[in-house]
Chains A and B, each alone.
Chain A
Amino acid sequence: MGYLGQQLVNGLTLGGIYALIALGYSLVYGVLQILNFAHGDVYMVGAFIGYFVEIALGGPSHTKVPVPVMIFIMFAVSMIGTGLLGIVIERFAYRPLRKSSRIAPLISALGVSILLQNAALLLFSANIRTYDTSSFIPSTAGFSIGSVNIDSVRFAVLILAMLLMFTLSKWVNKTQVGRAMRAIAVDRDAAVMMGIDIDRVIRWTFFVGAALAGAAGVMNGLLLRGVSNGMGFIPGLKGFTAAVIGGIGSIPGAMAGGLLLGVVESLTQGYLSTNFSDFYTFILLIAVMLLRPNGLFGKKAIVKA
């Protein structure tokens, strides 16, 4: 029982990260109907920014500011940085292609992905870095519910992911830009007729989607996983899988899909095999696409969260 509970908690934390990545795919797909392949690499950049902020603030063991402040700054800088990166990617790699064939943005996205990965390799070398979280938050900190131990970093990441998703729902449902974004997803021409400035909304969409990926990247680092130039590839695929499970374009779907995927993955790793866990994810993706092409929670358009 304890083991199962442990796996579930791990799965939800992992799922929170996947959900944040999946949201970026879904938001962008909603307004532009393109798959932003470079999204996983934006997540990688977010993790790097978090790392360098940590170093700039004195490093893991000699931080110059209180730990919560440091973590806050890491998230803030990373999210703003990746958000801006998202805007830049849209401006230079996708906007010139709005009127071209469907395959052109996909190839352009592939190009951006290769560029980001190799620029990171050139600038930061192939060394794998870590946030070394345990030197500022002892791994013994935490609490237990029954026989399930929940360490504080994991818990914080889970709460933070939920918080970000909640904020996003509010943003999408309660602000004019969020509403406009959904309107564009439903009927772009009608949205233009209402005076909505499409470019501005698309910029916002990329900013928010990329910022969420950046946050996910920092979370990944805090959970003591390695930071390197190729780290975004697999999570990018998982994020996409989560978005498809939830029905691409659907915001609540992306959240649910991410959490579900995290739990499934954690359970297969815990009970079946670690080596093949990505394989099971792939099978899940195929099964969903074959059986429920619109996703488990899917409607065609973005619906209210």
Chain B
Amino acid sequence: MTPLLTLEEVDTYYGAIHILQKVSLHVNEGELVCLLGGNACGKSTTLKTALGMVSPKVGKITFAGEDVTKKNTSHRVKMGIAVVPENRRLFGPMTVLENLKIGAYVRGEADPVDLERVFELFPKLKDRQSQLAGTLSGGEQQMVAVGRALMSRPRLLLMDEPSMGLSPRLVEQSFEMIAGLHAQGISMLVVEQNANMALSVADRGYVLQTGRIVLEGAAGDLAGHDELRRAYLGR
């Protein structure tokens, strides 16, 4: 079986600063993979590389069997990658409904069926459709961000620190939601600093430290791993 997404020995730079060093990872169809690591170790950069927001200097990226290393973000989103960015990045002065419709941009006009499904998943949003997204609470913004990503009917969902800035109760809820999406068969790559939570829902995990993958394995194995703790101490 070919994996859905692969990064093969990817090196990414910001100008002259070397960020990712020979990062290799893959996500299989239907899998929930988490990418763990401390602050500023290159987690977001990995997602941006996968999405084509930055291009690697060396290395290869494939999606659904196709080499997408040279393809732009728009192309990759069309192929079925969607993202819930760090800090949600909603379009604040636009309404919830408009945010959702933007999510369907690559499909042309938004499909009412998709809208219905998002509202089924997050019934709260249905009542808030015409509210400006910037005025929602943190939890609701999270819902819009996830809903917006789902509007493109992605085959792979990238999530960048979904628990960031949420209260403990909301963190729990959002991981329940992630597990729920996983149960529906959506493949996911979730970036997290909250290792315990992430590993509790994931199938597999990678640990990133200053731009290198230092550890990988099944979620259960990683959860009991000593080195994982150490990975968070030095950076």
Contact = CB atoms under 8 A, between A and B. Distances in A.
A196 B105 contact: yes
A13 B108 CA distance: 37
Given A176-B108, A193-B73, A187 B83 contact: no
Contact of B85 (A186, A193, A302): A193
B77 A303 contact: no
Given A195-B77, A195-B152, A186 B108 contact: no
B198 interface: no
Contacts of B95: 304
B106 interface: yes
B78 to A, nearest CB: 6
B53 interface: yes
A180 B103 CA distance: 10
Given A176-B105, A176-B109, A193 B93 contact: no
Contacts of B85: 190, 193
A22 B100 CA distance: 30
Nearest to A198: B74
Contacts of B13: none
Interface residues of B, number: 30
Interface string B79-90: 000110100011
Contact of A186 (B94, B148, B152): B94
A195 B78 contact: yes
A182 B94 contact: yes
A176 B89 CA distance: 19
Counting chain A CB atoms within 10 Å of each CB, the highest count among B85, B93, B108, B148 belongs to B93
Contacts, number: 73
Contacts of B92: 186, 301
6 contacts: A179-B98, A186-B92, A193-B77, A194-B105, A194-B148, A195-B74
Interface residues of A, number: 21
A304 B152 CA distance: 24
A180 B102 contact: yes
Contacts of B78: 195
Interface of B: 51, 53, 72-74, 76-78, 82-83, 85, 89-95, 98, 101-106, 108-110, 148, 152
Contacts of A190: 85, 89-91
Contacts of B105: 176, 179-180, 194-196
Closest 4 CB pairs of A and B: A195-B77, A190-B89, A195-B106, A197-B74
A220 B91 CA distance: 38
Given A179-B101, A189-B53, A301 B109 contact: no
Given A179-B105, A193-B73, A193-B85, 12 more contacts: A176-B101, A176-B104, A176-B108, A179-B98, A183-B91, A189-B53, A190-B90, A191-B91, A194-B105, A194-B148, A195-B74, A195-B82
A205 B73 CA distance: 20
Contacts of A234: none
Contact of B51 (A179, A182, A183, A193): A193
Interface string A166-208: 0000000000100110110011011111111100000000000
A29 B85 CA distance: 25
Nearest to B48: A193
A193 B72 CA distance: 10
B109 A194 contact: no
Contacts of B104: 176
Given A176-B108, A193-B53, A186 B74 contact: no
